[in-house]
Every structure is written in structure tokens, then in C-alpha cells.
Amino acid sequence: MVVLSVPAEVTVILLDIEGTTTPIAFVKDNLFSYIKENVKEYLQTHWEEEECQQDVNLLRKQAEEDSHLDGAVPIPAASGNGSDGLQQMIQAVVDNVFWQMSLDRKTTALKQLQGHMWRVAFTAGHIKAEFFEDVVPAVRKWREAGLKVYIYSSGSVEAQKLLFGHSTEGNILELFDGHFDTKIGHKVESESYRKIANSIGCSTNNILFLTDVTVEASAAEEAGVHVAVVVRPGNAGLTDDEKTYYNLITSFSELYLPTST
């Protein structure tokens, strides 16, 4: 088995979700499919609620910022009169959500709506999150060794808590010291990792970030964070240069702590 030594200065493990703790197939086939199948009905049912209106307003603001992009779907400022106008507005939001999802965009607006929609699916037990089998034992071991463990995902913090709170391994939320999402900044921007270190109260070189996406690894590394790229079944392939450059692990059990026996 390949072993990667965790540098002695590391006191925090920062984990990505999709492709790192959780199969991409689970996210696509369960979480994202649920959104596509239910978004129209969700908007029709919850339209009058303040939370839903906040989600729509954020999506509208994002649509304005995206207006220069090819294929972007605008969301009108106000619906026309009557139920026809409302249905047209809802359809515009649905089309915008489908367009963003077709590009796997990680905008805060999209992720906020998705998180709110998954609330029902997780709490009613329709969806249970899945983790690679090495994840939970390794996180427990790291914590026993005194490390802190945080999550940094494009999925909203609310969605992250639903995922770890309703899984095939039960509610494992207590295993995490905290959660970060795109509200702190995008995962491909170095500044996000400096802000995370600041928020945790440590230096960037005290953090080891595990992710499947090399652009995220590169941004974290630029901020002084230690990184390892996680290679899991179903993840996007890496180039030969990426395979040579990055520390790669295929299981969390390949991480060796200086204090491990």
C-alpha cells in the first residue's frame, strides 16, 4: 500500500466532498437528479415563502452576472399578471437551474436552492448519503490523534450538514469541527484557503486539503496549504503531469500520521 506521511505541522484536515468523501455517481445520480426531477414542483409549492423568494432573487442576480455567457438563461425581474405570468417566471427559474446544472456550475445561488430542496429529501429519509468505506474510520482516527477535521465543499453548509447528518452510516456530524462553502470564496481561488485558515485560527501550512480536483489543489497550494489529490473510482482522470506533480492517494487509509503506530 502507498503511504503518504502527513507533515508534522499539520493540525487540520480539510475535506472536499464530491469525489473525495463521496462518489461522484452518488452526487449526480441521487442529489442532482432529485433537483432536476423536483425543481418545478418545489418552486410551485414554496413560491410564496420568504426563503424561496430569497433563493429566486439570488438566482436572478447570478443570471444578470451570467448574461454575457453563451446559452445563459435570464430570469425576468417581475412576473406578468395572473397565473400565466407566474408560470412563465417559474419556468425561467427552472430553465436557469437546468442550464447551470448542465455546466456543473458551483454558484452560491444554485447551491443555496439545492440545499433547501434536499432538506425534505434527507429529513424524510428519501436520500441517504454515501461515503467511501475508508472515510469514517480515517476521520475517527485523525480525531483520536488530535487533528481537527473540517469540510470545504461547493455544496452549501446547510446541504453539507444534511449529508453528514443523514447517511448510510447514521448521523456523523459530530466528527467535524466545522464547515465551509462558497460563501467564504470559491474553491479555485487561493484567497479562500487563507480565509479558512484565518477562520479556524491556524496558519495555512497547518492544513492538509484533500480534493479530487487539481485546480482546487493548486489554489490551496498557492496559499501555502498542504494538498493531496484523491483518486477515486468515477473521478475525472489526471494528466501525466498532474500524476507526477501531486501527492496522490486512493484511500484516506494511505495517510500516515507522525504519531501513528
Ligand X SMILES: CSCCC(=O)C(=O)COP(=O)(O)O
Q: Which residues are annotated as a binding site?
A: 16, 18, 153-154, 187, 212
Which set of grid coordinates corresponds to residue 122? 434527507
Residue 153 in contact with ligand X, rule: CB under 6 A: yes
160: partner contacted, choices ligand X, Mg ion, none (Cβ within 5-8 A by kind): ligand X
Nearer to ligand X, 43 or 129 (CB): 129
Segment interacting with ligand X (CB under 6 A) among 59-67, 83-91, 147-155, 193-201: 147-155
Residue 106 in contact with ligand X, rule: CB under 6 A: yes
Amino acid letter at 87?
Q
Binding mask 21-40 for ligand X (x = CB under 6 A): ------x---x---------
Among 10, 13, 14, 16, binds ligand X (CB under 6 A): 16
> How far apart are alpha carbons 173 and 122 in whole angstroms?
14
DSSP state of 258: T
Residue 17 in contact with ligand X, rule: CB under 6 A: yes
Nearer to ligand X, 103 or 145 (CB): 103
Phi and psi at 218, nearest 5°, equal: -65, -45
Among 154, 204, 206, 214, binds ligand X (CB under 6 A): 154
Nearer to Mg ion, 66 or 212 (CB): 212
Beta strands in the chain (DSSP E): 4-5, 12-15, 148-152, 178-180, 207-211, 226-230, 248-249, 255-256
- The candidate with the shortest Cα–Cα distance to 161, out of 144, 147, 176, is 176
> How far apart are alpha carbons 73 and 105 in whole angstroms?
13
